[in-house]
Copies of this chain bind each other. A is one copy, B any other.
Amino acid sequence: MNDKVRSLIRENNILLFDGAMGTQLQDRGLQPGQSPEEFGDRHPEVIGAIHADYLQAGAMFLTTNTFGGTSFKLPHSLDPQAFNRKMAEVARGVAGTRGFVAGSVGPTGELLAPLGKAGFAELVDAFARQISGLAQGGADLILIETQFDLGEIRAAVVAARRVCDLPVAVSMTFESGTSLTGTSPLTFLDTMQNLGVDLIGTNCSLGPEGLEEIVRAMLPRARTPLLVQPNAGLPILENGRTVFPLQPQAFAERMTRFPALGVQGVGGCCGTSPAHVRAMAKAMREVRINLQSPTSHPDMVLTSRSTSVCVGLEEPMVVIGERINPTGKKQLTAQFQAGEQSLAMEMAVQQIAQGARILDVNVGAPMVVEENLLPELVSRLAARFSAPLSIDSSKVEAIGAALECYPGSALVNSISGEAGRMESLGPLCKMFGAPFVLLPLAGKDLPETSTQRLKIVESLLRKSEDLGIPRHLILVDALALTVSSKPESAKHCLQTIRSCREEWNLPTVLGLSNISFGLPARELLNSTFLTMAMSHGLCAVIAHPGARRVQEALAAGEVLLARDPQAKSFVRNYSGWAAGDGAVTVKAADSSTASAGAARKEVGTL
């Protein structure tokens, strides 16, 4: 049956969902304070009757009475899996072959650590039990709805993927522009698209007008069909009772605007009734989906809980701050060995101030248990900074643990051609919707020529395709090797950048500082090479964001590549520029921090 839902989506049909369950239950005997789940378990015939009304009204999707169906919310008397299965069976019985069953999965009420105390694995387990019940009971679609936290949603999606292969719809609720824990509609969309869910939606909190704004915020990058389930207007108090004022006909008229915007799924949330669905179903007969092409089409989007960073030819170059890495840094190594993170947190502050839009996080050093420290540091950085992270480790377990506690789409750095690496990390990245750096290294020899590099890329792409990993999760490292030992390597790197674009339309990244190893004036060579690489289509760079020449190269490069409209940003920052201002300023900035000693030393290794 799930293939049928996927076909329905693919064939661009309007998907008619049903309306509210809660308000219907109140009309049919649910007492204030009583759990709808408990009520439903006792009176499945009432639930069935509501489903039947919605089906009769024209709904294609009947939503199970399982909104609070995880162990966190269910009364202890109810077994989550059995309860969810029972509710799904009720809906299934009514839908028969005339409709589909959407298994409702609401929030657990718990917050993931560090915001709350729930662990990722704990949430996944709870969702998994609920969803396996829904699947067993005959659900056609898992509808993760009315969610407000990106991390929790991810746990639910991971759980759904673990226990079934049903299509997954995810719907978030937004108040005053962001979700309760700070996620914007666009960042929600970006993260969900990375996860590869089947429908992305918004529901509850607002009426059709309010949700139209949310939808419009998502549209510029929406490649996935959208689902909208508004309340019947904004609630008002009438005689001490909450009332949703939008009447069926008015609601239905409002709802017809969504297909015109390209939205595929429509339904109702709080305050909507079979009458609303009937009016909507009727109104939708006159309407067709006006498919919108995204106006922004980056190659890749990285997200934190609150922020999206686009990577692509039409996007400004993305600087990935390289400094949280103990290699060659004594003080940082010592801190990591002692389990301390203050220096890393300072480096994060500094790099963001210097223009890094992603922070690479590497804790690999002798006597550091990366599996413990990496997720811990990632978690702290994620709680404090909005810049998405790049999780950099040679240890698959450490990366897995870090991905679990990261709410957005972190970058995984990296998957090379090393035996078994793609097989172990690839599925992890796919499951977590985590973009990754594809590193064209295989075997002992460095691939000097672009031809050699492209061959490794090609073989890794084949593997990733076999694993079902979508292209928009792949960022190729073009390999900046040291020109002092391999003089042609810069040219091969530029060619690799171009070929990845021409052959596979893939974006590229590189670690900048290698190129100048062993030569004087490294910042000059680095910034010059960065300029070249930008002009050949490089999209991101792993670098020290404080290097003034690198900043200048980026600023001037954006103007020349027509990505700084009217050169506004350049004019703002460089009007007083003179060629003589240089690393002097950078050094001053570095030495003004508490970690001056370490920072100065590291500037020296640029």
What are the interface flags for A382-406 relative to B under an 8 Å C-beta threshold, 1 for contact and 0 otherwise?
Answer: 0000000000000000000000000
A520 CB-CB contact with B under 8 Å: yes
**Cβ-defined contact, B524 with A577, below 8 A:** yes
**Cβ-defined contact, A571 with B528, below 8 A:** no
Nearest B residue to A527 by beta-carbon distance?
A: B556
**Cβ-defined contact, B582 with A586, below 8 A:** no
Chain B nearest CB from A578 CB (Å) reads 6
Known: A528-B553, A532-B531, A553-B528. A521 touches B562 (CB 8 A): no
> Complex: how many Å from CA A288 to CA B564?
64
A488 CB-CB contact with B under 8 Å: yes
A residues contacting B by CB (< 8 A) are 483-484, 487-488, 490-491, 494, 515, 519-521, 523-525, 528-529, 531-532, 534-536, 547-549, 552-553, 555-557, 559-562, 565-567, 570-571, 574-584, 586
Partner of A580, one of B488, B515, B529, B580: B580
Known: A487-B565, A532-B532, A567-B483. A519 touches B559 (CB 8 A): yes
> Complex: how many Å from CA A586 to CA B548?
20
**Cβ-defined contact, B529 with A575, below 8 A:** no
Partner of A570, one of B519, B557, B580, B584: B519
Main secondary structure of the interface of A (DSSP, over half): helix
Chain B nearest CB from A581 CB (Å) reads 7
Known: A520-B575, A520-B577, A536-B535. A525 touches B565 (CB 8 A): no
**Cβ-defined contact, B577 with A580, below 8 A:** no
> Complex: how many Å from CA A575 to CA B577?
25
**7 examples of A-B residue contacts, CB within 8 angstroms:** A487-B567, A494-B535, A520-B570, A528-B556, A528-B557, A579-B584, A579-B586
Chain B nearest CB from A65 CB (Å) reads 57
Beyond the given pairs A524-B555, A548-B579, 15 more chain A to chain B contacts, judged by CB atoms under 8 angstroms and listed by A's residue number, are A487-B567, A490-B561, A491-B560, A515-B560, A519-B559, A519-B570, A520-B574, A521-B574, A524-B556, A531-B532, A532-B532, A532-B557, A578-B582, A580-B580, A581-B582
Known: A520-B574, A534-B532, A579-B582. A559 touches B525 (CB 8 A): yes
Known: A559-B519, A560-B490, A580-B580. A524 touches B552 (CB 8 A): yes
Nearest B residue to A582 by beta-carbon distance?
A: B579
Nearest B residue to A550 by beta-carbon distance?
A: B579
Residues of B within 8 A of A549 (CB): 579
Known: A519-B567, A524-B556, A552-B524. A488 touches B562 (CB 8 A): yes
**Cβ-defined contact, A556 with B521, below 8 A:** yes
> Complex: how many Å from CA A525 to CA B581?
15
Nearest B residue to A572 by beta-carbon distance?
A: B520
**Cβ-defined contact, A571 with B532, below 8 A:** no
> Complex: how many Å from CA A483 to CA B559?
8
Chain B nearest CB from A506 CB (Å) reads 20
> Complex: how many Å from CA A521 to CA B578?
7
> Complex: how many Å from CA A534 to CA B529?
11
Chain B nearest CB from A589 CB (Å) reads 13
Residues of B within 8 A of A565 (CB): 487
Chain B nearest CB from A437 CB (Å) reads 22
Chain B nearest CB from A478 CB (Å) reads 13
Chain B nearest CB from A34 CB (Å) reads 63
Residues of B within 8 A of A532 (CB): 531-532, 534-535, 557, 560
> Complex: how many Å from CA A586 to CA B521?
18
